[in-house]
């Protein structure tokens, strides 16, 4: 589903200027860096952190949407939502695999998620309260994800860039199906339309916070930009998203909950009102309304499944021993 | 009317089992199973949708697939008891799927041979392949767990003890099903016994499990006599749809 502007990257590195210079020349020449290539430690660490956060976001993101699978109000919607949530899990799997090429295991990353050491997109720490949230998440949250992720298809690290190509195709489909859910509600009964407006009111600000702090306050962007892990700044992406989304809301006759939102002819884009950065940092730091429940659910799934994973390994070992004894 | 009801029984089996499996989504023991569970739920719900649509057409009262799924209560649902059993743990869930798929695969294969209903034939052609891999997926897990650790073996035996009593109902034809069989729409359920026992026997031999004697089989689903769990399942599934009568989603 989504990767957020990277939280807390540390791009510091200790290699010689010559090594860094040669590496930078490859990046500048748009050559892809592959797992077996020499790379600065800071580059590797930044990618492990970013891809890990992205993978965790996909996995945790299964929970708020999964919350509505059993209640989806038509069989067609139920099937589409199941397929969508499955896609998110699939994205998690590719991304863990891409991170593993950098020498970190899925188990290690999973433990870091459970211990709170690794972050995931804070958007998933908000609750899905009505069916309309499923539409709004597809439209806004997946829409914001696409803005972030399309440039990642050109990321300098090969495995991440290649994984993102498929991920983006699926996200784009998710975004359209989300919009279609919201359109159906907006054109439905007054109750359905109110449900859509309520969901838009709750998800709008968290969605535009997904792009991360303003450029002036974003400490780690410069090195990531130079390494071409990141291609656009937080504010550039946020602007693109708002400019694309406002006409879509107007078409549905839904109101974006920002009284300061207005077209700026000079910049050919929308100006928006102030973002509540206190809320942003509160949620990023783990105090979002669903933060504790999300990690509790992930840990419960992992812990309750321990005996299954252990049995699978034991069985494989027994099979191997029997095969060897027979040879 | 009887054919309509017999197809409805099949559709309910698939929807209810698909719903149960979908409850795992995001909570499975490993990421690979978080992907596999929705896949199998999708197969089952997909089959249910086509069957509801066909049943509604045969009934001829203008009901939609969603009316069938969302506007009938627990006394009107006609699924067998096996599919509504709660997930409990991964052992129960895999065994329930194995029992069901091992019945449905020969059922659909037989349907392909004999049915006069083209829609049902279409469903059978697709579902037969899906049931083959459900057998493979669930069967491999039953073997891994049955011949895994002490704990997994115990859980697997508990699952057999809990669920085997519901398997007899798979082979029973309700009056509606009997008519659908006589009319050449669906195959005779009891005829699937040998193929089912063959699959279960092979899996159990490798899983170090034994099929218990069942002196008192549990039945009643085809008459709308369910366990208490189904009402909760339906209350959850139908909550939004019923709260907004006539709305389009």
Q: Tokens 């798979």 — which residue? A: B170
pLDDT digit string, tens, across residues B153-181: 999 999 999 999 999 999 999 999 999 99
**Within-domain flag for A323:** no
**Within-domain flag for A184:** yes
pLDDT digit string, tens, across residues A253-300: 999 999 999 999 999 999 999 999 999 999 999 999 999 999 999 999
**Within-domain flag for A166:** yes
Residue A93 in contact with partner chain B when CB distance is under 8 A: yes
Residue span of the structural domain in which A130 resides: 2-296
How many CB atoms lie under 10 A from the CB of residue A34? 11
**Within-domain flag for A322:** no
Domains and CATH numbers, chain B: 2-243 (1.20.1260.10)
When pLDDT is cut at 50, 70 and 90, the band that residue A327 belongs to is confident
Q: How far is residue A165's CA from residue A152's CA, in Å, rounded to a whole number?
A: 8
- Exposure string (b/e) for A128-155, b if CB count within 10 Å is 16 or more? bebbbbbbbbbbbbbbbbbbbbbbbbeb
Alpha-carbon dihedral A211, A213, A214, A218, rounded to 10 degrees: -110
Between A2 and B238, whose confidence is greater? B238
- Considering only CB atoms, A63 lies closest to which of B26, B49, B143, namely B26
Q: Which residue of B has its CA nearest to A96?
A: B31
Q: How far is B152 from chain A (nearest CA, A)?
A: 6
Q: How far is residue A13's CA from residue B246's CA, in Å, rounded to a whole number?
A: 62
Q: How far is A283 from chain B (nearest CA, A)?
A: 22
Q: Does B241 contact A304 at a Cβ distance shorter than 8 Å?
A: no
The tokens for A24 are: 């930078």
Q: What percent of chain B has pLDDT over 90?
A: 99
Q: What percent of chain B has pLDDT over 70?
A: 100
Alpha-carbon dihedral A21, A22, A27, A29, rounded to 10 degrees: 110
What pLDDT score does A1 carry?
Answer: 44
Q: Does B31 contact A93 at a Cβ distance shorter than 8 Å?
A: yes
The tokens for A148 are: 């972030």
Q: Choosing among B20, B37, B38, which should be mutated to test the A contact, i.e. which has the most A CBs within 10 A?
A: B38
Of the candidates A48, A58, A5, A56, the one whose C-alpha atom is nearest the C-alpha of residue A157 is A48
Interface subset of A 146-205, CB within 8 angstroms of B: 184, 188-189, 191-192
- H helices then E strands: how many in chain B? 10, 0
**Within-domain flag for A327:** no
Q: How far is residue A101's CA from residue A92's CA, in Å, rounded to a whole number?
A: 14
Q: How far is residue B101's CA from residue A95's CA, in Å, rounded to a whole number?
A: 33
Q: How far is A131 from chain B (nearest CA, A)?
A: 8
pLDDT digit string, tens, across residues A161-205: 999 999 999 999 999 999 999 999 999 999 999 999 999 999 999
Which 8-state DSSP code applies to residue A74? Answer: S
When pLDDT is cut at 50, 70 and 90, the band that residue A2 belongs to is very low
Q: Which residue of B has its CA nearest to A302?
A: B29
Q: Choosing among A67, A92, A106, A315, which should be mutated to test the B contact, i.e. which has the most B CBs within 10 A?
A: A315
**Within-domain flag for A325:** no
Interface subset of A 47-86, CB within 8 angstroms of B: 59, 62-63, 66, 69-79, 82-83, 85-86
Q: Which residue of B has its CA nearest to A299?
A: B27
pLDDT digit string, tens, across residues A291-322: 999 999 999 999 999 999 999 999 999 999 99
pLDDT at A7 over 60: no
Q: Does A310 contact B152 at a Cβ distance shorter than 8 Å?
A: yes
pLDDT digit string, tens, across residues B43-89: 999 999 999 999 999 999 999 999 999 999 999 999 999 999 999 99
The CATH number given to whatever domain includes residue A279 is 1.20.1260.10
pLDDT digit string, tens, across residues A235-255: 999 999 999 999 999 999 999
Rounded to a whole number of angstroms, the CA Rg of chain A reads 21
Tabulate helix, strand, coil % of chain B (nearest 5): 70, 0, 30
Q: How far is residue A62's CA from residue B59's CA, in Å, rounded to a whole number?
A: 38
**Within-domain flag for A58:** yes
The tokens for A61 are: 């993101």
Q: Which residue of A has its CA nearest to B25?
A: A66
Q: How far is B212 from chain A (nearest CA, A)?
A: 23
Q: Give the Å distances, CA to CA, from A197 to A132, A181, A225, A282, B39.
A: 9, 13, 37, 25, 32
Instruction: Quote the mean pLDDT of chain B.
Output: 97
**Within-domain flag for A312:** no
When pLDDT is cut at 50, 70 and 90, the band that residue A71 belongs to is very high
Q: Does B148 contact A314 at a Cβ distance shorter than 8 Å?
A: yes
Q: How far is residue A78's CA from residue B74's CA, in Å, rounded to a whole number?
A: 20
Contacts of B69 in chain A (CB under 8 A): 75
Q: How many domains does chain A have?
A: 1
Contacts of B147 in chain A (CB under 8 A): 315, 318
Q: How far is A38 from chain B (nearest CA, A)?
A: 31
């Amino acid at each position: 589903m989504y990767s957020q502007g990277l939280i807390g990257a540390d791009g510091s590195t200790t290699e010689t200027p010559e090594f860094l210079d040669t590496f930078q020349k490859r990046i500048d020449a748009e050559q892809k860096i592959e797992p077996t290539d020499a790379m600065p430690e800071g580059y590797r660490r930044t990618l492990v952190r970013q891809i890990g956060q992205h993978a965790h976001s996909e996995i945790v993101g299964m929970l708020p949407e999964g919350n509505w699978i059993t209640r989806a109000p038509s069989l067609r919607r139920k099937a589409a939502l199941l397929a969508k949530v499955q896609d998110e899990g699939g994205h998690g799997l590719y991304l863990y695999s891409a991170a593993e090429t950098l020498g970190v295991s899925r188990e290690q990353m999973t433990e870091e998620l459970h211990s709170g050491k690794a972050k995931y997109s804070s958007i998933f720490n908000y609750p899905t309260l009505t069916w309309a949230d499923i539409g709004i998440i597809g439209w806004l949250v997946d829409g914001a994800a696409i803005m972030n992720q399309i440039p990642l298809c050109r990321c300098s690290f090969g495995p991440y860039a290649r994984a993102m190509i498929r991920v983006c195709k699926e996200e784009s489909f998710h975004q359209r199906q989300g919009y279609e859910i919201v359109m159906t509600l907006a054109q439905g009964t007054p109750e359905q339309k109110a449900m859509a407006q309520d969901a838009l009111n709750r998800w709008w600000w968290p969605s535009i916070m997904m792009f991360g702090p303003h450029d002036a306050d974003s400490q780690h962007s410069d090195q990531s930009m130079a390494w071409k892990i990141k291609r656009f700044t937080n504010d550039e992406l946020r602007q693109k998203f708002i400019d694309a989304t406002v006409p879509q809301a107007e078409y549905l006759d839904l109101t974006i909950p920002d009284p300061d939102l207005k077209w700026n002819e000079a910049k050919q884009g929308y100006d928006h009102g102030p973002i509540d950065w206190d809320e942003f940092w509160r949620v990023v730091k783990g105090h979002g309304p669903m933060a504790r429940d999300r990690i509790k659910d992930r840990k419960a799934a992992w812990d309750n499944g321990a005996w299954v994973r252990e049995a699978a390994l034991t069985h494989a070992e027994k099979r191997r021993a029997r095969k060897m004894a027979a040879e | 009317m009887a054919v309509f009801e017999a197809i409805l029984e099949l559709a309910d089996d698939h929807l209810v089992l698909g719903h149960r499996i979908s409850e795992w989504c995001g909570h499975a023991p490993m990421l690979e199973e978080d992907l596999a569970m929705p896949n199998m739920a999708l197969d089952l719900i997909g089959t249910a949708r086509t069957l509801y649509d066909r049943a509604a057409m045969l009934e001829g009262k203008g009901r939609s697939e969603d009316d069938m799924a969302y506007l009938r209560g627990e006394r009107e649902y006609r699924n067998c008891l096996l599919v509504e059993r709660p997930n409990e743990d991964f052992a129960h869930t895999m065994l329930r799927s194995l029992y069901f798929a091992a019945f449905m695969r020969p059922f659909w294969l037989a349907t392909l041979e004999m049915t006069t209903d083209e829609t049902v034939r279409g469903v059978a052609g697709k579902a037969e392949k899906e049931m083959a891999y459900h057998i493979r997926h669930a069967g491999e897990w039953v073997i891994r767990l049955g011949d895994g650790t002490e704990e997994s073996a115990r859980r697997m035996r508990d699952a057999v003890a809990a669920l085997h009593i519901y398997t007899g109902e798979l082979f029973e034809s309700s009056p509606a099903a009997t008519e659908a069989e006589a009319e050449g729409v669906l195959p005779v359920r009891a005829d699937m016994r040998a193929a089912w026992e063959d699959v279960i026997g092979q899996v159990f031999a490798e899983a170090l499990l034994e099929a218990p004697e069942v002196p008192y089989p549990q039945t009643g689903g085809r008459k709308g006599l369910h366990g208490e769990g189904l009402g909760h399942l339906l209350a959850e599934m139908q909550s939004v749809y019923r709260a907004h009568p006539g709305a389009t989603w």
